[in-house]
Structure 1
Amino acid sequence: MDRSKLVAVITGVIALFLGIAYLLLVQILDFRGEMIPAPQDLSYLLTLF
């Protein structure tokens, strides 16, 4: 196998690995549940002091 084919295979394997890792990361983050936005009104923090 010449050098250009070896480089193509290696970069293909890296691309597949990154793609699968990205999909797994998205699934893990999605599994955590519904995303609740941060509160807009932080005046309740003033009652703590």
Structure 2
Amino acid sequence: MNRSKIVAVLTGAISIILAVAYLIIVQILDFRGEMKPAPISQINQSILVADIQSSQSF
């Protein structure tokens, strides 16, 4: 086999390995179940204070 054929086979093998690894990772993440948001009580809530200026002139 010449060098270009070896590089092509090696590149194809790496591509197949990456594709199989990706599918395994997706299956593992999907197996964990439905993703639910965190309850509101566990989220740090910031209080927004707005400074409202009146449009009246004194």
Verify same fold: TM over 0.5: yes
CA distance in 2, matches of 1:28, 1:13: 23
Superposition CA RMSD, Å:
2.1
1:47 maps to which residue?
A: none
Structure showing greater radius of gyration is 2
Summarize deviations over 1:12-42 as a string: whole Å, max 9, x none: 0000000000000000000000011244563
Number of matched pairs: 44
Gaps of 5+ in 1: 45-49
TM-score (norm. length: structure 2): 0.65
- Report which of the two has the higher share of helix: 1
Gaps of 5+ in 2: 46-58
TM-score (norm. length: structure 1): 0.76
CA distance in 1, matches of 2:7, 2:29: 33
Paired-residue identity, %: 61
